[in-house]
Structure 1
Amino acid sequence: MTMEEAAAGDKLDVVLFPWLAFGHMIPYLELAKRLAARGHAVTFLSTPRNVARLPPVPAQLAPRLRLVALPAPVVEGLPEGAESTADVPPEKNELIKKAVDGLAAPFAAFLADAVAGGRRPDWIFMDFCHNWLPAIADEHGVACAAFQIVPAAMIAFFGSRSANAAHPRKTPEDFTVPPKWCASLPSAIAYRRHEADWAAGMFRPNASGVADIDRLWEITERTRFTIYRSSDEIEPAGAGAFALLTDLFQKPAIPAGVLLQPEFDGRDDDKSISGASPAVLQWLDSQPPKSVIYVALGSEAPLTASNLQELALGLELAGVRFLWTFRKPSGMSEPCADVGELLPTGFEDRTRGHGLVWTGWVPQVRVLAHGAVSAFLTHCGWGSTIEGLVSGHPLVMLPFVVDQGLIARAMAERGIGVEVERVESDGSFGKDDVAAAVRRVMVEEEGKVFASNAEKLKEVLRDQRRQDQYMDKLEGYLTRYKPTR
């Protein structure tokens, strides 16, 4: 065997199949790029509209990374063309899970064709909801791994099937304290009462007919190991989070690193973020250094009209410069002609010059890296949190659902920032709560401590050598555990 043949024998063929949400698709695509950059053949699966909306594959990776669109199923109750959670209000996300289930037959056909054509994958990476996929992969002798884009601490908090059988949780209040098996996590890492209904809902069947926790357990139990978009340095229990998960599920829990986007990791291969500065960056150019708080709550946060009003008034009351990337929440039923109808009367006039409400697309990575930005008001989605931390910004945190509350508690424990105070029972907040949190981070002496802690974590997360070591370890597992032909 020649050296070239030996090297080729170490190369893998990997398929990645994320949940139909852009907060999942983007980190899956980042992992796909990392694998392709290491010489592996990678196929990224989604549906036609999602594939069309993803960033283009960098030219140098195109020979090894292909995007494949499976036909989107028709699901009663889903609007035509709705292929991701970004296309529907939050209450219809459960129907997107039904759409994922409808992809089983197209996926089976894709895999059968690949095998028949001599391109049998070595691995399939799947998301939390593809519980039907391992059985199809087994028919063709293909190995499966789960790839979770949430922090390891969240999966540990929900625990394994056996841990929950030994220590059942039956009411929302049960999720407001750490579970018995999470002694290694800080005691503050738990849901608030107003968040706990969502957590308890994980254990109930939804419109897809399956409970999310059953999907998660089945996938974790039927795959060879689980990969996390995370690292020892960012988890609240450090490496202990992965050790705990390995013990809970009796199979390896592997951090893949935080999968930094190109501008952060020095590989500026995405020309969509390296062209001419959009207007929002030009506005930042006119602001003093370290003077602006960037405000972004994602595209799917279940905000109400009252939330938006109080957030706006709180920013005004705080008296600091702000850039607010504003999107009408997808679940909001109130009709409105423009953004001005959702904001307090006269708000934009009163804040003109030191505040900007921006309704168009925002290059968030570049905004966070801008020298005028000094803090980040965020919903604490994991992707946004990582982007804020690798920019070295302290956080003002306003979490809503899923892992966001647990992430906010973890960041507060580390002294990276503060949560906006809210009513425990219903999660409501007022302008004074927003202003107080913003001023603690941006104005008061305490903010220097938050900024210093954030800067220290930034230096760790942007250490490319460490990030490459996580990928080295993952690559080793993939090579060692792949099926023999």
Structure 2
Amino acid sequence: MFPWLAMGHLIPFLRLSKCLAQKGHQISFISTPRNLQRLPKVPTNLSPLITLIPLPFPQVENLPHQAESSMDIPFQKSQFLKIAFDSLESPLTQFLQTADPKPDWVIFDFASHWLPPLAAKLRISCAFFSLFNAATMAFLGPAEVLLAGQGNRKTADDFTVVPDWVPFESNVAFRVHEVMKYVDGSSGNNESGTSDPVRLGASIDGSGLVLIRACMEFEREWLELLCELYRKPVISVGILPPDLEGSELENGDKWVCIKEWLDKQGLNARLLQGKKVGVEIPRDDRDGSFTSDSVAETVRFAMLSEEGDLIRANAREMRGLFGHKNRNDGYIDSFVHCLLERKTSK
């Protein structure tokens, strides 16, 4: 497991590691020393199967001392963190070359676009694990669009419409205020030499499998669309519902995890509203502002009104779906079967 350096990525990768370890598989969880120290403790029954592998983290100009995670820096410095992250290619290569037994798979995150060629050279299978849901990934587009730097989408307004490659009716699109900081030129999105869309596109394109934290019961049409867009297997690993790990984090770390998660909720809000399991609070499209009255009115509609009966019923059904242990275990079993079936011969 090789996640991006953010607690909102490390935790789900660890959750997937635990699911695989529960099936008897040996996991090497690779990150930097400080990030590994921040992780919740692995349960004693799984600790023999999950080994934490620290890679030395370099000091990079413009990156504060001991900054090893996105929680340690402002958003504007995120590309300097990616410069440091890219330098982990050499120690990761050394680990993969010398690990005994040799790994069957490397499961990696969006930022390590350089990993698929490395894995291919070492004859190790690789799978890209997306922490975005299927609808978000489909909205972002196929690998060739991402590799082209989002293609024709250059301004914030370009991201407020449903893309042409979505063949069914959908309301999943951004509001202007949700993407402004990514396209206004102030984010330094190319300081590392590789933009985030290109990293994502290369990760998708170079992987043998694409793993999605989603379930067919909720996002069937989006998962089927992703298979068409990527022209390769897209495997659902289930929702990976959180266990006690979130409560074991320090309070500050928990807040950063929550904030990283909330920062990505624009498309999710539209998906939930489109599925009639939630209601989005009205905001100003340009600056994202909202009023206390709009919050109160939306809550009353969702929780008390007769018109909200369907939403409440659907939400109760989804709660049972997302928290269903046997169903989520079934996704992991299918995933493991796929890994065993498709691993590169040693």
TM-score by length of 1: 0.65
- Shift, 1:458, TM fit: 1.1
* SS of the residue 1:422 aligns to: coil
Higher helix residue share: 2
Amino acid at match of 1:155: M
Match of 2:101 among 119, 124, 142: 119
| Secondary structure at 2:83 match in 1 | helix
Number of the residue aligned with 1:47: 32
Q: Percent identity?
A: 39
Contact 1:163 1:181 in 2 (8 A): no
CA distance in 2, matches of 1:260, 1:198: 30
Partner of 2:270: 409
| AA in 2 matched with 1:188 | N
Partner residue in 2 for 1:229: 213
Deviation at 1:220, TM superposition (A): 1.1
**Gaps in structure 1 of 5+ consecutive residues:** 1-15, 264-269, 274-279, 281-296, 302-378, 382-398
RMSD across aligned positions (CA): 2.7
Match of 2:324 in 1: 463
Q: Which amino acid aligns with 1:190?
A: A
Match of 1:172 among 156, 175, 190: 156
Deviates more, 1:98-107 or 1:146-155: 98-107
Query: Aligned pair 1:437/2:303, yes or no?
Result: no
Instruction: Assess if the C-alpha contact under 8 Å between 2:8 and 2:257 holds in 1.
Output: no
Choose from 134, 157, 172 the match for 1:152.
134
Residues 15-59 of structure 1, C-alpha deviations (whole Å, 9 max, x = no match): x00011111111100100011111111011111111011011111
Shift of 1:436: 2.5
- Retained in 1: the 8 A contact 2:7–2:257? no
User: What is the SS of the residue equivalent to 1:17?
Assistant: coil
Cα distance, 1:212–1:168 mapped onto 2, change above 3 Å: same
Q: CA deviation at 1:173?
A: 1.6
Tell me what 1:135 maps to.
Answer: 117
Contact 2:235 2:335 in 1 (8 A): yes
Query: For residue 106 of structure 1, what is the aligned residue in structure 2?
Result: 91
Match of 2:167 in 1: 183
Q: Residue by residue, what CA displacement relative to the aligned partner does 1:307-331 show, whole Å, maximum 9, x if unpaired?
A: xxxxxxxxxxxxxxxxxxxxxxxxx
Q: How does 1:46-125 map to 2 (within 5 A)?
A: 46-114=31-99, 118-125=100-107
Q: In structure 2, what residue type is equivalent to 1:197?
A: M
In structure 2, the CA distance between the partners of 1:100 and 1:413, relative to structure 1 (3 Å rule), is same
Superimposed CA distance per residue, residues 58-108 of structure 1 (whole angstroms, 9 cap, x where no aligned partner)? 111111111111111212111111111111122222222222112112212
Shift of the 163–70 alpha-carbon distance from structure 1 to 2, 3 Å rule, reads closer
1:240 to 2:224 alignment: no
> C-alpha displacement at 1:137, in angstroms?
1.9
Match of 1:472 in 2: 333
Distance change (3 Å), C-alpha of 1:60 and 1:97? same
2:1 maps to 1:20: no
Q: How many residues are paired up?
A: 339
Counterpart-to-counterpart distance in 2, 1:196 and 1:407: 14
1:262 Cα deviation from its structure 2 partner? 3.2
Aligned equivalents of 2:192 and 2:91: distance in 1? 18
Which protein is richer in strand relative to its size?
1
CA gap of 1:99–1:476, structure 2 versus 1, over 3 A, is same
Looking at structure 1, the residues matched to 313 and 291 of structure 2 have their Cα atoms a distance apart, in angstroms, of: 28
Check whether the contact 2:182–2:189 (CA below 8 A) recurs between aligned residues. no
Deviation at 1:300, TM superposition (A): 7.1
Higher RCO (CA 8 Å, separation ≥ 6 residues): 2
- SS where residue 18 of structure 2 aligns? helix
